[in-house]
Amino acid sequence: MIVFLVALVGVAGYLYLKPSKIVVPSLVGKTQQEAQEALAQLRLRSEIRLETPAAEDTRPGVVLKQAPAEGVELPVGSVVTLFVSDSPDGIPLPDVVGKTRSQAEDILRRLGFEVSFKDAQSDSVTIGQVIAQEPSAEARLAKGGTVVLTVSAGKGEQTIPSLTGLTPEAAEEQLKKLGLEMAVLQVVQSGFRSGDPVRVLRQEPEAGQKIKPGSRVTVFLPIPAPSVPDSGASSHASHAPRLEGLTVAQARKVAGQKGVELEFAESADEAAVITFQDPPPGDPLSADSAVLVRTAVSSVVPGVTGLSEADARARVEKAQLVVGSVKKSYGPVKGEVLGQRPAAGIEVTAGSTVDLVVGDPSVSPDAAKNTAPAPTPAFTPAPWVD
């Protein structure tokens, strides 16, 4: 008990005596790297400003003055501005490879450089991160010079493998290796009985086509045919038959034998699979009512965070979706997408809207909390998706 009290007093004393402010050290005369490392160890941040030195013999990259001055107390995380000597030959470039597009641009612009971007596909670098820079790190560049950053556009398009004849588990494993997702639709297969091995009948899109990572490939798996009366006499069903999972042709046959009228929400091919019906299977059905059926078309929301607003709009429209509201929030790069709703990978109905939050340096950072994207609602798969 005594040991516990001593430990408790020690922790309380540390929290009480823990310094809340940091004394700014003397940084004048140090190199830019030495000064930044010293500030980082004290949990202070640095901002670099280039300045032409008065003396011709002053080495480039040396701290000429600082603000605040030595001895000033600052809260943890405060910024100390370092005025660094420039030269006609420029200063060494920092290494920004691996940083996000906005982080890299912010670092370089603070040093007085211009920044341009180009995209490149990468299987290993996360989308939005810098793959390469030109000139490279440590190369000297004069103030106002341009640094070209190559930013990852994510994995390139993948070729869909043939999944026909595979088990669902094997098909899903192949797709996962390529960064693709699998959706399942069950269809009635003549001669298929309960207990028979389940193999992929067909797939959409077909093998050999190219699609972006994160896209969904639908596989069709067999289920036994429903039992239907053998007699040719038609009698009206008192409850809606199960039509989901049947092709339009099969549904017409079942509906005819049950004496049920079908209504189509849109034109459907005879081979199309029914993914929705109203009333649902088993619901009461009056003599003069019909069953509404449709084949749903869905889209997968693409990831657009880190892209420019123009690129994000193009990617959303290519996915057969529409850009909804566009809100502005504080960000160092004007027009960069900071957030989206729904999140990437969510399956939605084609034509749905995707809301964006884009960066704008002129917006007050305090207003960011009012423009953050709302959380994506929990996604519940459709009843016909396994």
Which stretches of the chain drop beneath a pLDDT of 70?
Answer: 1-19, 54-57, 87-89, 226-237, 266-269, 271, 295-298, 347-350, 365-386
Residue 323 has what pLDDT? 92
Residue 382 has what pLDDT? 44
Residue 381 has what pLDDT? 47
Q: How many Å apart are CA 277 and CA 20, to the nearest integer?
A: 65
Q: How many Å apart are CA 244 and CA 226, to the nearest integer?
A: 11
Residue 378 has what pLDDT? 45
* pLDDT, tens digit, 9 for 90 and up, residues 160-169: 999 999 999 9
H or E, element range at 348: strand 347-349
Structure tokens at 298: 């869905």
With vertex at residue 332, the alpha carbon angle to CA 328 and CA 336, rounded to the nearest 5 degrees, is 55
Residue 48 has what pLDDT? 83
* pLDDT, tens digit, 9 for 90 and up, residues 170-218: 999 999 888 888 988 888 777 788 889 999 998 988 899 888 777 889 8
Residue 384 has what pLDDT? 44
Domains of the chain: 21-87 (3.30.10.20), 92-156 (3.30.10.20), 158-297 (3.30.10.20), 299-371 (3.30.10.20)
Residue 226 has what pLDDT? 66
Question: Distance between terminal CA atoms of the chain?
Answer: 58
DSSP string for residues in 178-231? TT-EEEEEEEE-TT--TTSPP---EEESPTT-EE-TT-EEEEEEEEPPPP--SS
